[in-house]
Amino acid sequence: MKNLIGVPILAVLTVLISGCASEEATDDPGSAPSASGETSGEGDSPASPNVPTAEGLAPDSGERYDGVEIPSLDGLACAEDDDNGFRFGSDMDLSRIYGTDALVARQDQNGDEWAQFACYGTSPIVVNVEGIEATAPHFVTSTSLFEDVADPSAVLTQIVTETVDLSGSYDRAWQGEPQDLSTGDLAIQCQSSLALSVHMATCFWANYGAAGLVDFFPPTGAPLPAEEAASQTQAFVTAALSL
């Protein structure tokens, strides 16, 4: 795991995809289950359980996560992302989220506060980077755990603003505005971008105990549609976060 600023300048176009068998899946990236909840009335106390603290999201259950697991997802083989994976270089890789300085980090069972994974589909994605073809993962992820995220929607807006601004200063060319696709207790904003000549779709997310991003490579040369990217992001979060 590395800080975004610490990525080498030269692009590394090597992919490690061995010994990464997918376990029996229970979640389908294209049809992930969604949580739902009703907002509280005016008489509810903010300190009461199951009372939402963020407008538009389902109530906070009070549960917090003890770890981030390698997810088991239908049609995907996932593993920890490392230095042997696909890299754009030039600091365009989204290694982690920014804008969370006000939150208290929570360590997982290994003492880590954040984790990165790369997930590969059964049909390889081949991208052309400055005239060089390389096999890329279906998506890469960065996930951070926190003691409490009182307002996931507000935190997510800050994450998107700071992460997009920082990566944009290193020539990740963001396009359009973030699209809000929040569902249940999960705040989600997705936005497309160009990394060199590759059309990417990125979904940033936050709930009451964690936050992160999922960076999607283009399966057909065009960026993954935002609605599909958001659905797969929800499936990843559900599979990766452990109580």
Per-residue model confidence (pLDDT) at position 55 = 58
Per-residue model confidence (pLDDT) at position 30 = 40
For 49-130, strand residue ranges (E) read: 67-68, 76-80, 114-121, 125-129
Q: What is the pLDDT of residues 71-127, one digit of tens each?
A: 999 999 999 987 667 888 777 889 899 999 999 999 877 777 789 999 999 888 999
Cα distances (Å, whole numbers) of residue 20 to 1, 24, 154: 18, 13, 36
Domain boundaries, the chain: 4-13+64-242
Tell me how far apart the alpha carbons of residues 56 and 163 are, in angstroms, rounded to a whole number.
23
Average pLDDT of span 232-241: 96
Q: Taking all residues of the chain, what is their mean pLDDT, rounded to a whole number?
A: 79
